[in-house]
Amino acid sequence: MNSLWSITLATLAKDIRLEWRSKDALNSMLFFSLLVVVIFSFSFDPLAEESRHIAGGLIWVAFLFAAVVALNQTWARELRNQVLDAYRVSPAPANALFLAKALGNFIFVSVLEALMTPLFIVFYNLRALGPAWQLIPIAILGTWALVVNGTFFAAMSIRTRSREIMLPLLLFPISIPAVIAMVAGTTSILTGEESAHFYIVLLLTYDVVFTTACLALFETILHAE
Amino acid sequence: MTEAAKPAITVTNVIKQFGRFAALRGVNAEFEIGKFYAILGDNGAGKTTLLRAFAGLAHPTQGTISILGQDPQAACREIGYMAHPSLLYDEMSGMENLRYFARLYGIAGTGQPNGDRCEQVVRSVGLDPELARPVGQYSQGMRQRMSLARAILHDPKILLLDEPFSNVDVHSAGEMVGLLRGMRDSGKTIFVVTHQAALLRGVADEFVWMQAGQIISRTADLSADFPSAGAR
pLDDT of B120 above 60: yes
CA of A2, closest CA in chain B: separation in Å? 11
Q: How many CA atoms lie within 13 A of B223 on its CB side?
A: 9
What single-letter DSSP state applies at residue A223? Answer: T
The residue of chain B nearest to residue A19, with distances taken between CA atoms, is B91
pTM here is: 0.90
Give the max Cα distance, chain B: 53
CA distances for B166 relative to A224, B86, B163, B194, B204, angstroms: 28, 11, 6, 8, 17
Site from A14, A89, A159, A220 to mutate, B interface, most B CB atoms within 10 angstroms: A89
Q: Do A91 and B55 count as a contact with CB atoms less than 8 A apart?
A: no
The CA distance from B203 to B38, in Å, is 9
8 A C-beta contact, residue B176 and residue B94: no
Q: What digits encode the pLDDT tens for the residues B179-199?
A: 999 999 999 999 999 998 889
Question: Among partner residues B55, B106, B134, which is closest to A89 by beta-carbon distance?
Answer: B55
The CA distance from A119 to A31, in Å, is 13
The residue of chain B nearest to residue A20, with distances taken between CA atoms, is B91
The CA distance from B205 to A129, in Å, is 79
pLDDT of A14 above 80: yes
Task: Tally Cβ neighbours within 10 Å of residue A53.
Answer: 13
CA distances for B146 relative to B52, B57, B92, B191, angstroms: 20, 21, 12, 18
8 A C-beta contact, residue B147 and residue B88: yes
Task: Tally Cβ neighbours within 10 Å of residue A164.
Answer: 14
Task: Determine the residue type at A120.
Answer: F
Q: Do B89 and A92 count as a contact with CB atoms less than 8 A apart?
A: no
The CA distance from A201 to A181, in Å, is 9
Nearest to B61 by CA among B43, B49, B75, B73: B49
Q: What is the mean pLDDT of residues B3-28?
A: 89
Write out chain B residues lying below 8 Å of A15, CB-based: none
Average pLDDT, chain B: 89
User: How sure is the predictor about A40, in pLDDT bands with cuts at 50, 70 and 90?
Assistant: confident
Q: Which residues of A touch B (CB under 8 A)?
A: 3, 6-7, 10-11, 14, 17-18, 21-22, 77, 80-83, 85-92, 223, 225
- Relative to beta strand B9-18, strand B79-82 is unpaired
Instruction: Name the packing angle between helices A135-157 and A48-79 (round to 10°).
Output: 30
CA of A83, closest CA in chain B: separation in Å? 4
Terminal-residue alpha carbon distance, chain B: 40
The residue of chain A nearest to residue B147, with distances taken between CA atoms, is A86
Q: What is the mean pLDDT of residues A33-52?
A: 79
Handedness of CA A159, B67, B97, A221 (dihedral sign): positive
User: How sure is the predictor about B104, in pLDDT bands with cuts at 50, 70 and 90?
Assistant: very high
User: How sure is the predictor about A208, in pLDDT bands with cuts at 50, 70 and 90?
Assistant: very high
Write out chain A residues lying below 8 Å of B48, CB-based: none
Predicted pLDDT of residue B110: 52
Predicted pLDDT of residue A10: 95
Q: What is the mean pLDDT of residues B50-78?
A: 94
Q: What digits encode the pLDDT tens for the residues A73-106?
A: 888 889 989 999 999 999 999 999 999 999 999 9
Write out chain A residues lying below 8 Å of B54, CB-based: none
pLDDT of B12 above 90: yes
Question: Among partner residues A18, A85, A87, which is closest to B104 by beta-carbon distance?
Answer: A87
CA of B41, closest CA in chain A: separation in Å? 23
Q: Do A85 and B87 count as a contact with CB atoms less than 8 A apart?
A: yes
Predicted pLDDT of residue A163: 77
Is B90 at the interface with chain A, CB within 8 A?
A: yes
The CA distance from A91 to A107, in Å, is 26
